[in-house]
Structure 1
Amino acid sequence: MTHFGKIKDYDAGKGSGTITPEKGGDALDFAKADLQQEAAEPKSGQRFGYETKQVDGGKAHAINLRQQEQGGSEKANQAKQQQG
């Protein structure tokens, strides 16, 4: 299931950051390897879609982060990608 949130912080030196879920709750950790577009460093406030997995004895971790266009829905983004 895809969740959405905004980047809280990202440390390029460490290659890790946190994302705050839109639906509330604690910020989730993520690593640069979890980003779908590793070349582009995320910036604070950017909206991303992501999945979660349990790590470190049950703590949730954000994975498969995909940047979302501001104001656009995921379905609209998929439609744009399919059109070329």
Structure 2
Amino acid sequence: MRNVTVSLDDETARWARIEAARRDTSLSRYVGDLLREQMTEPEAYERAQQSYLSRGPVTLRVPGQQYPTRDEVHQR
């Protein structure tokens, strides 16, 4: 694990310390977790998208039947 120095303005540093305390963790761990989350989020989104797209199209109606009207769908 590497040590990194980060400079923050007073207001941001105060907010970060409070958020870390709310989570019962150190400021260092809190910032590391935020960065790790930002690093892995695009990968998780990509996996979810690929999973969804691999399922193929979903049929919304029985073949040979017409789609319901707008009023039927909304029960007006």
| Range class of TM-score, shorter chain | under 0.3
Structure with larger RCO (C-alpha < 8 A, sep 6+): 1
Q: Which has the higher strand share?
A: 1
**Higher helix content, 1 or 2:** 2
TM-score by length of structure 2 reads 0.24
* TM score, norm. by length of structure 1: 0.23
Larger Rg: 2
